Amino acid sequence: MKREEGYRQVMFVLVMVFCTYIPVSAYSSDAIGWYEQGNALMKNKNYTQAVEEYNHAIMLEPGYFEAWNQKADALNRAQQFSEALAASDHVIELKSDFVQGWINRGYILYNLGRYDEELKAYETAITIDPASPEAWFNKGYSLAGMKRYDEAIAAFDKVQELDPTFPNLAANKRIAEQNRDAITPLHIKYAPVIAVVVIFLIGSIVWYIAVRKKYENE
């Protein structure tokens, strides 16, 4: 009897350990199915129908923040910007530390022309995950749009550090550098050269005066 009781205890412990490591989905399989159908429609650029699929998922699981985020993205791509922002509000309410939710919110705010808020959205994403190259890239893109080119280049440098293969990184950094150089006044752009020339001229004048005095004294 003792052996049987011990066997039962061991089996109970094993079952508990096994259950602990079984991945448990937060959402129903039906909701996930609608979500995945929406994603497939997004790939085919069928944004209006994708919104409907995400709505089905959300009806089944109102707390499905990923579905809310994808719905916001689909609405944004369909140029329904106000509706997209409203969906984004739900994402942030449900999960305020969802990095992709903040990045997606930045895209929507850009399309609404709310550029200061767009930048803040990317900065919030970076605060949550400082190692997100996508958040840093979009921050750089936003800063470049504000003509804050030095800050934009610094953000692109951070992307380079995190992910050297990030798409369109080199091109956007080059554009930011070109735009910065185009608006930089000549006296600032060539300040080092001007400084060298001035020093040379001053030195030449000093030398000339010294030589002249020497000959005059002779």
Looking at residue 212, its pLDDT comes to 60
pLDDT at 175: 97
**At 26, is the pLDDT very low, low, confident or very high (cuts 50, 70, 90)?**
confident
C-alpha triplet 64, 66, 71: angle, nearest 5°: 100
Long-range contacts of 81-86 (CB under 8 A, 24+ apart): 81/108, 81/111, 81/112, 82/112, 84/108, 84/111, 85/109, 85/112
| Segment 178-192, tens digit of pLDDT | 999 998 654 455 556
- State residue 202's pLDDT score: 67
pLDDT tens, residue by residue, 124-165 = 999 999 999 999 999 999 999 999 999 999 999 999 999 999
Question: 21 or 96: which carries more pLDDT confidence?
Answer: 96
Are 159 and 140 within 8 A, CB to CB? yes
What are the backbone dihedrals phi and psi of residue 93, each rounded to the nearest 5 degrees, phi first? -65, -40
